[in-house]
Amino acid sequence: MRKHILVSILFFTSVVSIFGQEVLDKSLLWEITGNGLHKPSYIVGTIHIMCKDDFVLTPKVQRIIDRVDNLTLEVNFTDPKEIVEIQKSMNNQVSLTRDLDEANRKELVELLINEYGLSNSEVDSISSLGLMNLMTNKELQCEVVSYDVELIMLGMKKGKNFGGLEHGKEQLELFNKAFSVKEIVRQLKLKDESTDNLTSIIEAFKNEDMNKLYELGTDPQFMPMEVKSIMLDNRNKMWVEKMGRIMLIESTLFAVGSAHLGGEVGVIELLRKKGYDVTPVYE
């Protein structure tokens, strides 16, 4: 999903409701306590890919990595089995153009060649996920880094345990289910709008503005309601169940895309409904 771009956020310590939408404090990092936990756990919102010049791993996140026993991401990329399964799934994906009729295929091929500089052979073999990654890289136009990878590298240096909330193969399957060929082609045509959206997301991330990140990350223009249900809401519910089991065993820092944290079906609200105290960490 192009909105690889996601966080948690910081500001006040109270939660209010405006137009029925929960407004959360500005912070990228949140503490989870109560409900039988012996030690605090934490959740940090991330952007999966961003420009190197925009990336900062804040001192407060680094301190929490020192404090916890476990670092759990959406997918445990330290597990070689995960990498193998992801590679297999990627290799098995069908070319995007093979699912289109001749008129739509011709339109897509011309668009990819003219806008993204792909050759005919590259167009013929590109997958839906490959195309979305290509779109993001073109929009960023910079040397990119992965927040997740940076967290993993620091966690490995500090000898932390690692886990995942789901498997990479499951992510790919959900992506293919959520984003039809027609939906991807529709978004491909929104080049200027998409670039503006991504720029705003990066700015909101740097400002730790969770509410703005949720608003941008769930913009119906890029994430229709049916896609949001598959890519955010349903996964959030499954993750919260698994988080509860993990936190009882080890103090954990969970790192997930920022759009997963806000909203009525966001991870923070779902944890609170389970009886946990979830509070922003400012320093």
User: Is the pLDDT at 174 greater than 70, yes or no?
Assistant: yes
Cα 30 versus chain centre, distance: 16
Output the six-digit token pair for 189: 């045509």
Cα distances from 281 to residues 50, 224, 227, in angstroms, run: 23, 32, 31
User: Is the pLDDT at 155 greater than 90, yes or no?
Assistant: yes
Strands (E), 86-237: 144-145, 161-164
Separation of alpha carbons 283 and 140, rounded Å: 29
Q: Highest mean pLDDT: which of 131-145, 170-184, 205-219? A: 205-219
Q: Highest mean pLDDT: which of 23-32, 184-193, 274-283? A: 274-283
User: Is the pLDDT at 183 greater than 90, yes or no?
Assistant: no
Helix (H/G/I), strand (E/B), else coil: 89? helix
pLDDT at 17: 29
pLDDT greater at residue 132 or residue 43: 43
Count of CB atoms within 10 A of residue 190's CB?
A: 14
Instruction: Please report, for the chain, the start and end positions of each structural domain, with discontinuous segments joined by +.
Output: 16-92+142-178+199-280
pLDDT greater at residue 129 or residue 249: 249
Considering only 7-11, 73-77, 80-84, 102-106, which range has the smallest mean pLDDT? 7-11
Helix (H/G/I), strand (E/B), else coil: 5? strand
115 Cβ contact partners less than 8 Å away, ≥ 6 residues apart: 138, 188, 191
Count of CB atoms within 10 A of residue 143's CB?
A: 8
